[in-house]
Chain A
Amino acid sequence: MKIRLDHVVKTFNTFRAVRDVSLEIESGELVALLGPSGSGKTTILRMVAGLEFADGGHIYFGDQDATDIPVRDRGVGFVFQHYALFPHMTVQENIAFGMKVSKVKREKAAIAARVEELLRLVRLERLGDRFPAQISGGQRQRVALARALAVDPKVLLLDEPFGALDAAVRRDLRRWLREIHDELGITTLFVTHDQEEALDLADRVVILNEGQIVQEGTPEQVCRDPKSAFVTRFLGDANRLSAEVRGGVAYADGAAIAADGVANGAAEIYARPGDLDWSAAGPGIAASVTRVLDRPGGRRVIAVTAAGENLEFDVEPELAVRAGEQGFVTLRRAQVFAAS
């Protein structure tokens, strides 16, 4: 089912949570709403679900205007950050709940068969008789997904689905969610503040800030071609250098970077830690090392430039570099934006 948001607005008291958001999600697509807290991403998801009603604009499911349809008639599956499993029901009963309360009457045996099928899908065949308190967080989230899928929703909505889990479980679960999505082909929209999760999982990423969409595109598009300093910063670690643009070139202290289409005047250069090179002799931006952090794959160097700006970059594990050393940093790749 295709979802379309048309100039949607939502205000809580005086807080403008969602400001004129228009968005299309194609049928069968897996889309991530990515943004910092307070960016309105969860509010958008809840409006799509019908758990919140828009103050302005429309939400369409296919050709149908779903803006005012209450959640129980909207046909969406919603997965909550903290699972929201019914604690007094077993895993099976949780999954069966939607089928039991549905207006469409189902045979007991048909419900039991569907529960079995879903338990297999989420790989929890043996845990059907357990209560939610007796299984792990990752298992609970899989039960929550099975419960949402049990009512054959047109759309699957997930609110920070892996937010409460530890890193290893998160990684497993998101690969697994991708597999399930590919198997079922259900239109899926999920909210996250974790850029890695969004880039890992989604066909398309919608980046939000202060209630507005700041950029949307495939993971490749948003990573290779961020349209603003905010997107660059939000997608991952980035070093920031003050610069001055003159005639399409950004000049910083010891570096000159092509800056096509950036107006003359104050600007900011952003470069990923992996795009910086370190050498003991010039040319480059003079900097002195303040700390060296050792990591399994290499060494992270923190240095400060003459202008007092902090730089972080990675060097080979074998490189002998110590705090207090002087050297030069060159930029292999960078983005330039006019100063905000």
Chain B
Amino acid sequence: MRRNVLPGLSLSLGVTLFYVGLIVVLPLAALIFKAASLGPVDYWSIISSSRAVASYRVTVLSALGATAFNLVFGLALAWVLTRYRFPGWRLIDAMVDLPFALPTAVAGISLTALFANNGWFGSVLSELGIKVAYTPLGIMVAMCFTSLPFIVRTVQPVLEDLDPALEEAAQSLGGSDWTIFRKVIFPLLTPALLAGLSLSFARSLGEFGAIIFIAGNQPMSTEITALLVFIRLEEYDYQAAAAIASVLLITAFVMLAVTNLLQARALRYTARS
């Protein structure tokens, strides 16, 4: 190995690898191992059971919906927080982190109280014929709440670092505000947006605490995959729990790989020749 000027490589590398192995790789390996002990036929029948498939559908669709909503709203929030200073700016900026800090169960209970038919939002919405609590829409609301900070916090620093001269240059070349956003700002935000997107989606896929209060948890309609895993676990059916969990794991992994690829593509221009 080449001599390195920075000291402590072997020690820090050793500690890091040990830590990653113990905390990240080992549990995942155990999960795969447990699921693999089923044999392919059983494994397939468990993960393709109609109840499991229904849970995938509601989880993935809600997560997609929540992520799409957060993409727009999170980008807008990040934009406002970086571009403008207004009274209460600091408060709003701090509140963005609240979903990170708040115990998810607290979030779930408060959302349920708000959106229940007699709650503040729920009573108004039910008059309009919209039911949120105990429907997939409720799942989406909970997912939105818990994953909002990801998009805001990944986009915000990039937006802050954006050289104002880029926009001025585009203006001096005759670009309209919308053209400048579309052709200059948005492409430069894309890598950060993708990162935020994948984190937000992954968090939504795995979210448990905030959702189970508001979801109603009816098998086949409002039962999320994470809950199904939990139920199997409660039934001491560790193998089935591991099998279903492995589907979540693989989904998250594939998605991370895809967004990393997209990100690398979007960042092609930074590579030196």
With known contacts A130-B273, A134-B273, A72–B171 Cβ distance under 8 A: yes
Q: How many residues of B contact A (CB 8 A)?
A: 23
B183: chain A residues at CB < 8 Å are 97, 101
| Complex CA–CA separation, A78 to B169 (angstroms) | 7
A151 touches B173 (CB 8 A): yes
| Complex CA–CA separation, A149 to B169 (angstroms) | 12
B174 touches A78 (CB 8 A): no
Q: How far is the CB of B169 from chain A (nearest CB, A)?
A: 4
| Complex CA–CA separation, A88 to B162 (angstroms) | 13
B184: chain A residues at CB < 8 Å are 86
A82: chain B residues at CB < 8 Å are 163, 165
| Complex CA–CA separation, A89 to B176 (angstroms) | 18
| Complex CA–CA separation, A131 to B271 (angstroms) | 8
B174 touches A102 (CB 8 A): yes
- Please, which residue of chain B has its CB at the minimum distance from the CB of A70? B171
| Complex CA–CA separation, A49 to B172 (angstroms) | 8
A133 touches B271 (CB 8 A): yes
B268: chain A residues at CB < 8 Å are 131
A to B contact number (C-beta, < 8 Å): 81
A271: chain B residues at CB < 8 Å are none
With known contacts A82-B163, A133-B272, A134-B272, A87–B172 Cβ distance under 8 A: no
With known contacts A84-B166, A97-B183, A130-B273, A76–B174 Cβ distance under 8 A: no
A78 touches B172 (CB 8 A): yes
The B interface is mostly helix, strand or loop, or mixed, namely: helix
1/0 per residue B258-273: CB within 8 Å of A? 0000000000111111
Mark out the residues of chain B between 160 and 208 whose CB falls within 8 Å of any chain A CB in the assembled complex: 163, 165-166, 168-176, 179, 183-184, 187-188
A84 touches B188 (CB 8 A): no
A86: chain B residues at CB < 8 Å are 166, 169-170, 184
A98 within 8 A of partner (CB): yes
A257 within 8 A of partner (CB): no
Mark out the residues of chain A between 68 and 88 whose CB falls within 8 Å of any chain B CB in the assembled complex: 70-74, 76-78, 80, 82, 84-88
B174 touches A72 (CB 8 A): yes
| Complex CA–CA separation, A85 to B269 (angstroms) | 12
A148 within 8 A of partner (CB): yes
- Please, which residue of chain A has its CB at the minimum distance from the CB of B166? A84
A101: chain B residues at CB < 8 Å are 170, 173-176, 179, 183
28 contacts between A and B (CB under 8 A): A50-B172, A72-B173, A72-B175, A72-B176, A78-B169, A80-B165, A80-B168, A80-B169, A84-B166, A84-B168, A84-B169, A85-B169, A86-B166, A86-B170, A86-B184, A88-B187, A89-B269, A97-B173, A97-B183, A101-B173, A102-B174, A103-B174, A130-B273, A131-B268, A132-B269, A134-B271, A134-B272, A147-B169
Residues of A within 8 A of B (CB): 49-51, 70-74, 76-78, 80, 82, 84-89, 97-98, 101-103, 130-134, 144, 147-148, 150-151
Residues of B within 8 A of A (CB): 163, 165-166, 168-176, 179, 183-184, 187-188, 268-273
